[in-house]
Structure 1
Amino acid sequence: MKYNSKHVPVTDLKTPCLIVGVHERHRASTAFDTLDQASGGLLRRILRKGDFHGRTGETLMLYQVEGIAAARIVLLGLGRQKDFSALTFGEALRKATPALKQANIGSLAICLPDDEDGYALVREAIAGIEAAVYRFDECKSEVEKPRKPLRQATFVTDDRRHLKRLQKACAHGQAIANGARLARDLGNLPGNICTPTYLAEQAHKLARGQRKLKVTVLEEKDMEKLGMGALLSVSRGSRQPAKLIVMEYRGGKRGSKPVALVGKGLTFDAGGISIKPAQAMDEMKYDMCGGASVFGTLAACLELDLPINVVGVVPASENLPDGNANKPGDIVTTMSGQTVEVLNTDAEGRLILCDALTYTERFEPAAVIDIATLTGACIIALGHHASGLMANDDRLAEEITRAGEAANDRVWRLPLWDDYQKQLDSNFADMANIGGRAAGTITAACFLSRFTKSFKWAHLDIAGTAWVSGNDKGATGRPVPLLTQFLMKRCKVTD
Structure 2
Amino acid sequence: MPIKIQIASSDPLSTPADVLVVGVPEGAALSESVFSRLQESLGEAVSRQLKRDDFTGKKDQSVEFTTYERIKPARVLVLGMGKGPFSDADVRLLAARGARFATGARAQSITLSVPEGIAGAERAAAEGLVLGSYRFTRYFTGDRLPKTTLERGSVLVQGKVTKAGRDAVALGQQIGESVCIARDLINEPPNELYPEAFARFATTVGKQRGLKVTVFDKAALTKRGMKLMLAVGQGSARDPRLIHMAYVPKGKPKAKLVFVGKGLTFDSGGLCIKPAPGMEEMKGDMGGAANVVALMAAIAALKPAVEVHGIIGAAENMPDGDAYRPGDIFGSLDGKTVEIINTDAEGRLVLADCLAYARTLKPDLILDNATLTGACVVALGTTVSAFFANRDELADRMRAAARTAGESMWQMPLVEELRDGLKSEWADLKHTADRWGGAITAALFLREFVGDIPWIHVDVAGPSMASKPYGIYTKGGTGHGVLTFLRLVESYAR
TM-score normalised according to structure 2 size: 0.89
CA distance in 1, matches of 2:212, 2:31: 48
1:84 and 1:29 map into 2 onto residues whose CA distance is 21
SS in 2 for 1:428: coil
Alignment map for 1:124-143 (pairs within 5 Å) = 125-126=125-126, 128-142=128-142
User: Which 5+ residue runs of structure 1 have no aligned equivalent?
Assistant: none
Aligned partner of 2:192 in structure 1 is: 193
Counterpart residue type for residue 198 of structure 2: L
1:308 shift after superposition: 2.4
| 1:362 aligned partner | 360
Distance 2:130 2:304 in 1: 22
Deviations for 1:364-385, whole angstroms, at most 9, x for unmatched residues? Answer: 1111100111110000111122
CA RMSD of aligned residues (A): 2.8
Match of residue 346 from structure 2: 348
What whole-Å deviation, never above 9, does each CA across 1:149-178 have from its counterpart, x for those lacking one?
A: 212222222234x85665455244323311
Q: How does 1:64-463 map to 2 (within 5 A)?
A: 64-65=69-70, 70-78=72-80, 90-91=92-93, 93-101=95-103, 104-113=106-115, 115-117=116-118, 119-120=120-121, 122=122, 125-126=125-126, 128-142=128-142, 144-160=144-160, 166-167=165-166, 169-211=168-210, 213-254=211-252, 257-463=255-461
- Are 1:286 and 1:475, in contact at CA under 8 Å, matched by a contact in 2? yes
Contact kept? 2:288, 2:369, Cα under 8 Å = yes
3-state secondary structure, aligned to 2:154: strand
* Contact 1:53/1:77 (8 A) holds in 2: no
2:290 is paired with a residue of what secondary structure? helix
Q: Deviations over 1:171-215 (max 9, x none)?
A: 44323311111001111111111000001101111122544x111
Number of corresponding residues: 482
- Preserved CA contact (<8 Å) 2:262 2:312: yes
Amino acid at match of 2:405: A
Q: Counterpart of 1:343 in 2: which secondary structure? A: coil
Alpha-carbon distance change, 252 to 423 in structure 1, aligned in 2, over 3 angstroms: farther
Mapped to 1, the partners of 2:440 and 2:432 lie a distance apart of 11
SS at match of 1:58: strand
Q: Distance in 1 between matches of 2:146 and 2:231?
A: 47
Cα drift, residue 223 of structure 1: 1.2
For residue 303 of structure 1, report the CA deviation from its aligned partner. 2.2
Q: Which moved more, 1:104-113 or 1:308-317?
A: 104-113
Alpha-carbon separation, structure 2, partners of 1:300 and 1:143? 34
Say if 2:35 and 2:46, in contact at 8 Å, map to a contact too.
no
Unaligned runs of at least 5 residues, structure 2? none
Shift of 1:119: 2.5
Residues 345-398 of structure 1, C-alpha deviations (whole Å, 9 max, x = no match): 111111111111111122211111001111100001111222111111222222
Aligned pair in 2 of structure 1 residues 173, 264: CA closer, same or farther (>3 Å)?
A: same
User: How far apart, in 1, do the equivalents of 2:429 and 2:269 lie?
Assistant: 20
1:6 to 5, 8, 15: 8
CA distance in 2, matches of 1:468, 1:229: 33
Partner deviation per Cα, 1:60-99 (whole Å, 9 max, x = no partner): 121332xx5x243514131655697765655555444455
Q: Is the 8 A contact 2:239 2:315 kept in 1?
A: yes
Q: Bigger CA drift: 355-364 or 134-143?
A: 134-143
One-letter amino acid matched to 2:135: R
Distance 1:98 1:4 in 2: 18
Q: Quick one: distance in 2 between partners of 1:341 and 1:81?
A: 53
User: How many angstroms does 1:279 deviate by?
Assistant: 1.2
SS in 2 for 1:316: strand
Shift in CA distance, 210/420, structure 1 to aligned 2, threshold 3 Å: same
Further displaced range: 472-481 or 350-359: 472-481
* Aligned counterpart, 1:58: 63
Which TM-score applies when normalising by structure 1? 0.89
- For the structure 1 residues 371 and 75, does the alpha-carbon distance in structure 2 shift closer, same or farther, using more than 3 Å as the test? closer
User: For the residues of structure 2 that align with 1:82 and 1:405, how far apart are their CA atoms?
Assistant: 15
- Give the secondary structure class of the aligned counterpart of 1:49: helix
